């Protein structure tokens, strides 16, 4: 559960605006878009350049295969990918290889 907070600059305190489960909403929106556009899979890559890792949020037919190719599962449709910072140099080749060799990842 994500807690959204706002800073109250006059009082110097933080107030919780509301509890909001953003990830479930995000997964639902990604799945809806995937179906509308007839995509096989939909991947959202969130990169933390300071930690030098990315979180991959994946929906679709090959989500487990794509997830295994990119990192460790951390929750519903989410994978931690240490050292993954580049879509072109790291993510696309890993996904391409995984899909080409489906039987190895099952």
Digit-coded pLDDT (tens) for 32-70: 999 999 998 898 998 999 999 998 899 998 888 888 888
CB 45 within 8 A of CB 56: yes
- Print the SS3 string covering 48-82: ECCCCEEEEEEEECCHHHHHHHHCEEEECCEEEEE
CATH number for domain 2-105, candidates 3.20.20.70, 3.10.310.20, 3.30.465.10, 3.40.50.2300? 3.10.310.20
Most distant CA atoms of the chain, gap in Å: 59
Q: In the chain, what is the straight-line distance between the N-terminal and C-terminal CA atoms, in Å?
A: 31
Q: What radius of gyration, in Å, describes the C-alpha atoms of the chain?
A: 17
In the predicted model, what is the mean pLDDT of residues 73-100?
A: 87
pLDDT at 1 over 50: no
At residue 76's C-alpha, the angle toward residues 71 and 79, to 5°, is 15
- Residue percentage of the chain with pLDDT more than 70: 76
Domain ranges in the chain are: 2-105
pLDDT band at 105 (very low <50, low <70, confident <90, very high): low
pTM beyond cutoff 0.85: no
């Amino acid at each position: 559960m994500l807690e959204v907070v706002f800073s109250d600059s006059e009082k110097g305190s933080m107030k919780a605006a509301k509890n909001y489960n953003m990830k479930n909403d995000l997964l639902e929106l990604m799945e809806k878009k995937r179906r509308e556009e007839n995509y096989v899979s939909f991947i959202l890559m969130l990169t933390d350049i300071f930690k030098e890792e990315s979180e991959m949020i994946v929906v679709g037919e090959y989500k487990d295969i794509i997830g295994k190719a990119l990192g460790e599962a951390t929750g519903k449709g989410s994978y931690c990918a240490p050292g993954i910072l580049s879509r072109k140099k790291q993510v696309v080749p890993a996904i391409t290889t995984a899909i080409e060799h489906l039987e190895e990842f099952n």
